[in-house]
Structure 1
Amino acid sequence: MASTFSHISLSLLSLLLLPFFSAAFPHNGPLHLSSTPKLQAEKFIRDLNLFPNDEINTIPHKTSLDEAFAGPMLVEKQFKMPFLGAASGPSVQELGHHAGYYRLPNSKAARMFYLFFESRTNKNDPVVIWLTGGPGCSSELAVFYENGPFQIANNLSLAWNDYGWDKASNLLFVDQPVGTGFSYTSDEGDIRHDEEGVSNDLYDFLQAFFAQHPQFAKNDFYITGESYAGHYIPAFASRVHKGNKAKEGMHINFKGFAIGNGLTNPEIQYKAYPDFALQMGLIKKADYDRISKTIPDCEQAIKTCGSEGGEACASSYEVCNSIFNKIMNIIGGTNYYDIRKQCEGDLCYDFSNMETFLNKKQVRDALGVGDIDFVSCSSTVYDAMLMDWMRNLEVGIPALLEDGIKVLVYAGEYDLICNWLGNSNWVHAMEWSGQKAFGASSTVPFKVGGTEAGLLKSHGALTFLKVHNAGHMVPMDQPEAALQMLTSWMQGKLAIAESVERIAPK
């Protein structure tokens, strides 16, 4: 694919989150597990009505971007997004919107693309980074459909999102791992296969970002994301905390991280599939009994993956996903991201406007990406992370909790694929000094505008929130509740609200 870059206008576009998908199946009729994870990934991408031209963003030759990187590691520009409201809106400087590329130092030729939106409220607000899952999906999805500054219409015009997270934070979106979105490389050896590579790249980027924006380095910093980011986030959080403790580079004012409908501890979460499906009336008791017989094989396969790695991890992926597949064989065309809905044919969501919008020359010029391809979701990145899939990323969280790093795990109640029950189960099973007190704490309403919007449980630095009337993508389904959740949590008010509920007279 050809790629040219003006050295003056290197930039990026924001990325959103997509859920991961574990099996390829026709929505009607019997399920057939695909022979390769890459084919499964392609199926999941089509379910979102996304059709990237390439499987991964690799470039077989040098571009003008390489010349620009002969100087700084990070090249950034301010921009104003085209098709946003009236032509005479705020200036580029007033908007504080930035797009950029970062040359990853621990790579041969990788460039990481990011978008940065300064707070619409107060530049002293926390800096929040959002990571989309997949693995291999661009965070631009979140920018336009979830918690970014914009909402995209069918005519491809943009409107301000009244509940964008840039109303409470200085908001970063990063296309990662490399090969996703506008992030690219000319050497496939730069493709990441595990959380060590992913977290090191993000940490290096963060160091360069705060060096470029020293006025934000003093602000509180939070990591957020969704779906397969349930793997990325704990690894990245541990890397930032480790760097701070070792006094590596610039100190990052790291305060906490939030995982939305994530995959974090597969052994516990895969076991929850039959329980959730039975509770929600998706399957009958006889189905439950039959499907549950697969669970011991899954547990053993994950343990073998942990001890042996390699092909054992690929085997555990297939064994454990058979649990999910059996449920999908029964419920057919039900949307596994939101069980209240049905998928129409191969379409569970339609995010195609994003791809169309980002292919417009006026948009690409504004972002400075030239003719770099946009890979909305990369089946190659998905496949490359296969050995990482069944790893338990919960193991690093207790040490962070003990050091006072705040942890929020939230989940929409109607998501099947990363359901709230599996997330609640691993949170309760996590061994740390506050485990018993957390388990004994009361469940209280999370209220938005006086109406119950979820159920909250909290002790010390740990909070779990089940969000009502939402599926896999909470900021899309319940934008007001998601923004209040983020704001209250960062301000330490979620735990305060719980205490008030406990002592309030009934």
Structure 2
Amino acid sequence: MFYFFFESRDTPKDDPVVIWLTGGPGCGSELALFYENGPFHIADDLSLVWNQYGWDKASNILFVDQPIGTGFSVVNDVNDIPHNETVVSDDLYVFLQSFFEEHPEFVKNDFYITGESYAGHYIPALASRIHQENKGNPKIHINLKGIAIGNGITNPRIQYLFYTQFAEDNHLITPGERKDIDDELYEGCTEATYNCGTKGDQNCLLARDKCEAIVNKIMSIAGDINVYDIRKKCIGEMCYDFSKLEKFLNNHEVRGIIGVANEFVSCSRVVYDAMRADLMKSFHLGIPELLEDGIKVLIYAGEFDFICNWLGNYNWVSFLQWSGQKQFKEFKGVPFLVDGTDISEGGMLYTFGPLYFLKVYGAGHMVPMDQPDVALQMLTAWMKGQL
């Protein structure tokens, strides 16, 4: 697996180690590194400039291209590309064991798993794998302290059922149109997602079609919106212009410096297709055990993202069955205040015990890109137990 590792700008020997997993599935971690929370941004002339809100200001941070076949993590045979989270988490666990073996000075540091979008699948799967291995006799004990998922897809069975409410609340559809969509498509999606969880991959592919019909119907009414940020127009296939990234990483000199031979593609369609049946599987089931054992769980979401919207995320978190469920659901929320020139509200925070949910104001799907100061303060306060 290919990765970038940046030591903390402050105190690397003491600061936590954070791994960042980009979603897709099949999108390179370099998207986050250079457009969101890495130490550098790419200037128009393809030079690198410091990111004053890089997460390396609070942590030692790993950006990993995964699943294999993504970014610079190459495969010789496309059949080796994972099709499910068991293989994905196996590969990541082996990678982390190797990483800490190569960097033993960081083994004692607190460890956090972070990411966004499809990482709502990756992160719980990897965290559960690490947590179970730690209860045995692992070669290297990984000091897992918490997980953070940004605008993730974690529990599709619940999340898909809140698209119409989000769309109505944001005036993308009318109340009557919402009722029509719910009456026509809600039950089919619900039944199909249940079958996905109990009857195998073909049913998961069917569930995807049934539930995506809800999204497609909304989009046919709403028109040309950016599903990652409803305030903006969609530009190109990915709705954002990441062309500078591919120009930079495919520069002959840059590739020589980082020691890669293959061409960089921001998002791999081959990996995406390989993981198609995985999308509709729910990965919330391992999270209660993490919470009960004191592992911190932070779910955050930009308020203007449609595709992994805050409403669906808040509701799957609220429905999570653990000992603090009642208290979490009863919590009315408090403003998340951001220090800057002026103290301002960066979002609304809901919490009980080790579970946190943050609705981030003024952000779409990529919170660290849209609200970098909020994202850095969120991470720092959360890791320090001050959120």
Per the shorter chain, which TM-score range? over 0.9
The answer as to 2:196 corresponding to 1:296 is no
Q: State the distance in 2 between where 1:115 and 1:316 align.
A: 36
Partner amino acid, structure 1, of 2:308: C
Deviation of the 1:376 alpha carbon: 1.7
Given the alignment, which residue of 325, 338, 361 partners 1:468?
361
3-state DSSP of counterpart to 2:350: strand
Partner amino acid, structure 1, of 2:229: D
2:373 alignment partner in structure 1: 480
Partner amino acid, structure 1, of 2:349: L
Identity of matched residues, %: 62
Deviation of the 1:186 alpha carbon: 1.0
2:7 alignment partner in structure 1: 118
Given the alignment, which residue of 120, 130, 147 partners 2:37?
147
1:328 alignment partner in structure 2: 219
Q: State the distance in 1 between where 2:292 and 2:236 align.
A: 48
Aligned residue runs from structure 1 range 4-19, under 5 A: none
What per-residue deviation string (whole Å, max 9, x for no partner) do you get for residues 256-303 of structure 1?
Answer: 000000000001000000000001111101110111121110010011
Q: State the distance in 2 between where 1:375 and 1:176 align.
A: 13
Deviation of the 1:373 alpha carbon: 2.2
What per-residue deviation string (whole Å, max 9, x for no partner) do you get for residues 168-222 of structure 1?
Answer: 0000000000100000111223110000000011011000100100111110000
Q: State the distance in 2 between where 1:151 and 1:144 align.
A: 5
Partner amino acid, structure 2, of 1:277: A
Partner amino acid, structure 2, of 1:482: A
TM-score w.r.t. the length of structure 2 is: 0.97
Q: State the distance in 2 between where 1:164 and 1:266 align.
A: 31
Q: State the distance in 1 between where 2:56 and 2:97 align.
A: 21
**Gap change, CA 1:347 and 1:247, over 3 Å in 2:** closer
TM-score w.r.t. the length of structure 1 is: 0.75
The answer as to 2:89 corresponding to 1:199 is yes
Partner amino acid, structure 2, of 1:186: N
**Gap change, CA 1:375 and 1:348, over 3 Å in 2:** closer
Deviation of the 1:362 alpha carbon: 1.3
The answer as to 2:253 corresponding to 1:351 is no
Deviation of the 1:441 alpha carbon: 1.9
Q: State the distance in 2 between where 1:135 and 1:295 align.
A: 25
3-state DSSP of counterpart to 2:286: helix
The answer as to 2:315 corresponding to 1:422 is no
**Gap change, CA 1:345 and 1:235, over 3 Å in 2:** closer
- Unaligned stretches of 5+ residues in structure 2: none
Q: State the distance in 2 between where 1:190 and 1:461 align.
A: 37
Deviation of the 1:346 alpha carbon: 5.3
The answer as to 2:200 corresponding to 1:305 is no
Whether the 8 Å CA contact 1:179–1:375 is kept in 2: the answer is no
| Bigger share in helix | 2
What per-residue deviation string (whole Å, max 9, x for no partner) do you get for residues 38-77 of structure 1?
Answer: xxxxxxxxxxxxxxxxxxxxxxxxxxxxxxxxxxxxxxxx
Whether the 8 Å CA contact 2:235–2:241 is kept in 1: the answer is no
Q: State the distance in 1 between where 2:230 and 2:152 align.
A: 17
1:366 alignment partner in structure 2: 257
What per-residue deviation string (whole Å, max 9, x for no partner) do you get for residues 220-275 of structure 1?
Answer: 00000000000000000000101110122101111000000000000100000000
2:352 alignment partner in structure 1: 459
Deviation of the 1:347 alpha carbon: 6.5
3-state DSSP of counterpart to 2:27: coil
Partner amino acid, structure 1, of 2:4: L
Given the alignment, which residue of 116, 119, 123 partners 1:226?
116
Instruction: Decide which structure has the larger Cα Rg and report it.
Output: 1
Whether the 8 Å CA contact 1:127–1:216 is kept in 2: the answer is yes
3-state DSSP of counterpart to 2:112: strand
3-state DSSP of counterpart to 1:393: coil
Deviation of the 1:375 alpha carbon: 2.7
Given the alignment, which residue of 463, 486, 489 partners 2:382?
489
Two-structure CA RMSD over aligned residues (Å): 1.0
Q: Provide the aligned length of Structure 1 versus Structure 2.
A: 382
Deviating beyond 6 angstroms after TM superposition, the runs of 4 or more aligned structure 1 residues are none
**Gap change, CA 1:337 and 1:250, over 3 Å in 2:** same
**Gap change, CA 1:344 and 1:239, over 3 Å in 2:** closer
Deviation of the 1:345 alpha carbon: 6.3
Whether the 8 Å CA contact 1:128–1:171 is kept in 2: the answer is yes
Deviation of the 1:374 alpha carbon: 1.6
